[in-house]
Structure 1
């Protein structure tokens, strides 16, 4: 049987951009006589369900599994592929943040992304690291993350941005990444920092007045911010950025520098790196994984070296 692509489309991604982009991609695939099977998501978590079902049923005949959507869509697809990570994963950007495409150096144009996918050869493939997150330390089932995990202020930003009406409005004009900035500015006036304990490869740290802890597999975050400028998805490490003891006034300065990675020079920013990370706090603190709300602390994180192949 001829191998085919499995394509999972989030039609609502980017406020409808997902469906529009898919129409063009579909026409191109048909023109080239490329075998594929396509599926639309209908609810949050559906991309994970579809990926799980399809790779289980067709893993022997699957050429690759492609996500058409945003960072949340590719996050779900990756999590649906547990036990089948040998199948290559492709991505056609249609979201607002699109950090996955930036971090893995994938084409942003749908046409170029499709050409990249169709020209892929397993013999020239490269495997990348994944992160694994387990809320409640060891008591809960783990999830994968390809980009990053944000704990604290940015976890709340992700949560409130995903719930905000202006995200859809900005997506209509192709300015979806600004929705994070709007939420960030609004929340910065009311958010209360917290204390936490952090353990990186067995070494313990204690921080007071923490705004956020970002654990990153790639350098990009929240729509292009370079939260961990040295993070690479092929080094077998996770990079950690802790922002603490920072005044609200200086917080705005940090936001102005983070898009260039210059925040790392501030004394209120601590950069760490390791393979095994745990975060505990006196009160539950919101966190996100690849921009999707992922529960609260405590949490354990670790890297899975060379776990998946990105087309």
Structure 2
């Protein structure tokens, strides 16, 4: 059985339109299937919790943005054997970009039906206040989270999605956030070693290269089982930040002073010194930050429709 989970409002209706196209194909009418449509935030996680024990599931097809995929992964719990096929229908679609998933949704669907091979993908895990959650793309504290929050709340997001320019919302949000963001001091633990950074802009851990609708923020990140890449931007004046982010599209920001990229099996974000709340983002969804520990899951999920090559942790 093929299980579909569709977020009809993702990408201002883009995911819904994609599903309508898929329903017109011959392959769709030939397969045994069940369709679930999300109705509110968190609904995809509830659906995933209920369906993972269904008998004879062949593949779980998610048509949505990255936020809905995040919910599905967290709802699956430890059911890592169940193949997932992601057809991107959101604004940023960084998961599809980082996993080299084809752009044409009908081609993706055709490949899912015709090719049952799946590739391993090691998701990240973060622990805070006794709670364990997963992320598929990245978790970031500071500037990127404030940009994501600004983009999610912007009235322009829906309009830009309507005219096919949804990625521009992240550029507008970046510029707006730049003028009001306050730098912070942070204490980090990376694989048992302590680091102190002052005047920090952001700390980000990611499973692949991209955030914010195509920004190549972690250019050396590879999909493998052991390490995730960690970016720290610190000691950079605000007037240089815009110049720095102008080079992120091709990964040129790594040459700026104050940009550190490390590898870690475990990252502890221990303390942030700031006299106001600071936000973190997980797969583009934001909340007020709390101290946390970030690791990679030992057992991978299985992703269909990708073209990436799994790297050795030593590469």
Equivalences, count: 301
Query: 2:44 aligns to what?
Result: 47
Contact 2:27-2:110 within 8 A present in 1 as well: no
| Structure-2 residue corresponding to 1:13 | 10
Q: Distance in 2 between matches of 1:91 and 1:232?
A: 19
The answer to whether the 8 A contact 1:155-1:288 is kept is yes
Instruction: Give the Cα separation in 1 of the matches to 2:234 and 2:163.
Output: 35
Q: Does 1:288 align with 2:281?
A: yes
Q: Tell me what 1:242 maps to.
A: 232
> 1:23 corresponds to which residue?
20
Structure 1's 97 and 52: CA in aligned 2 closer, same or farther, altered over 3 A?
A: same
Match of 1:199 in 2: 189
Shift of 1:305: 3.6
**Residues 33 and 248 from structure 1, CA distance in 2 versus in 1: closer, same or farther, beyond 3 angstroms?**
same
Match of 2:106 in 1: 111
2:63 aligned with 1:71: no
Cα deviation digits, residues 189-231 of structure 1 (max 9, x gap): 1100100011111111100011111101010111111111111
- Secondary structure of 1:25's counterpart equals helix
What is the CA–CA distance in structure 2 between the aligned matches of 1:196 and 1:31, rounded to whole Å?
Answer: 51
Query: Runs of 4 or more off by more than 4 Å in structure 1?
Result: 29-32
Q: Which residue of 1 aligns with 2:122?
A: 129
The alpha carbon displacement at 1:119 in A equals 2.4
Is 2:164 the counterpart of 1:174? yes
Instruction: Measure how far apart 1:145 and its partner are.
Output: 0.5
The 2-side partners of 1:304 and 1:187 are apart by 33
Match for residue 290 of structure 2 among 283, 287, 297:
297
Structure 2 residue matching 1:107: 3-state secondary structure: coil
TM-score (norm 1): 0.93
Residue 248 of structure 2 corresponds to residue 252 of structure 1 = no
Q: 1:259-299, CA deviations, whole angstroms, 9 ceiling, x for partnerless residues?
A: 11111111110111111101121345211111111441311
Structure 1 runs not aligned, ≥5 long: none
Name the residue aligned to 1:274. Answer: 264
Name the residue aligned to 1:309.
Answer: 302
Cα separation, 2, equivalents of 1:83 and 1:107: 27
Give 1:31 deviation, angstroms: 5.1
Q: Is the 8 A contact 1:13 1:69 kept in 2?
A: yes
The 8 Å contact of residues 209 and 216 in structure 2, kept in 1 or not, is answered as yes
Q: 3-state DSSP class of the match of 1:214?
A: strand
Distance 1:31 1:12 in 2: 22
* Aligned counterpart in structure 2 of residue 36 of structure 1, from 33, 38, 52: 33
Q: Which of the numbers 85, 88, 103 marks the counterpart of 2:83?
A: 88
Aligned to 1:151: 141
| Residue number among 169, 174, 187 corresponding to 2:177 in the alignment | 187
How far residue 251 of structure 1 moved from its aligned partner, in angstroms, is 0.3
The alpha-carbon distance between structure 1 residues 242 and 146, as it changes in their structure 2 partners (threshold 3 A), is: same
